[in-house]
Amino acid sequence: MEELKRTKRITIGVIAFIAVLVIGFLTVKKPVAVYKLSPQQMNDDLIMVYQVTPEEASEMMGDSVKNVFVDIRSIYDYEKDHLYGAVNIPIPNLLDKEIQEQFDQWKKDSVTVVLYGNDQLQANSPWMLMYQLGYDNTRVLLGGIKYYDDFMNGRLAENETFEMENPAYDFKKIIAEGSSDNSSVAAQAPQKEVVVRKKKKKAAEGGC
């Protein structure tokens, strides 16, 4: 009798334990999206060609099967003015389930997805995110919609460019002129010295 009671108790215990495990596994939160590239791989890929110039964009516009333009601005901005045939996916919605399925579909059909905002900067971070999620068919429109509109309508200022990283001034020369005017200025940027303190090692950290 005594023996039987004990076996029963053990059985109940084991069943309860397994039930806890199963519930635990079932309720694990599924991540919304997973990075396919590490930050290092992403950084290495930044030197590759991922941009679309306005000229290229106007050519791609003709082939709507192989190319799709995605407006990452708000619905309001999209309604006001958007590129011909563009789809509106505001930045906060980029990771929605349906949107990801759409991106998966585009990738499967090897459609080139061009993200654009008001300028290149607005589309830059969203592009990096989507690229890092493994959608390597995404590109960025250089200059954004404003530059594109001006480009198509011939309203560009004389030396307007979509290359944001080109220096617009001769930095060194301007500073040299400035310092010759003001006799005592030390205009050269001083090198900043940074002292990193070594961290004391704690006895036991991490490890699985």
Partner 1 sequence: MSKRYIFLAVLLIGSAFGLTQLPEKPNKKQIPPDELLIKIYDQARYLTTREIAKRIIDRDPSIFLVDVRTPSEYEEYAIPGAFNIPLENILDDQWRDYLNQDGVDVIFYSNGTIYADQAWDLIAQRGIKNLYIMKGGLNEWFATIIKPVAPDETAPSEAFDQYAFEKAASIYFGGSSAGVDAAAPAEKKEVVVRKKKKKAAEGGC
- Which parts of this chain interact with partner 1 (CB under 8 A)? 31-35, 39-40, 42-43, 46-47, 91-92, 94-95, 120-121, 124-126, 128-129, 132-133, 163-169, 171-172, 174-175, 177-187, 189-199, 201-208
Q: Closest CB to partner 1 among 81 and 177? A: 177
Q: Residue 87 corresponds to which tokens in the numbers above? A: 């789809």
Q: Closest CB to partner 1 among 60 and 142? A: 142
Question: What's the rounded Cα separation, in Å, for the pair 99 and 93?
Answer: 7
Shortest Cβ 65–partner 1 spacing (Å): 29
Shortest Cβ 73–partner 1 spacing (Å): 12
Q: Closest CB to partner 1 among 16 and 187? A: 187
Say which residues have a Cβ less than 8 Å from residue 185's Cβ, sequence separation at least 6. 178, 179
Shortest Cβ 62–partner 1 spacing (Å): 28
Burial of 45 (0-12, 13-18, 19+ CB in 10 A): middle
Shortest Cβ 137–partner 1 spacing (Å): 18
- The one-character DSSP state at 30 is P
Question: What's the rounded Cα separation, in Å, for the pair 6 and 3?
Answer: 5
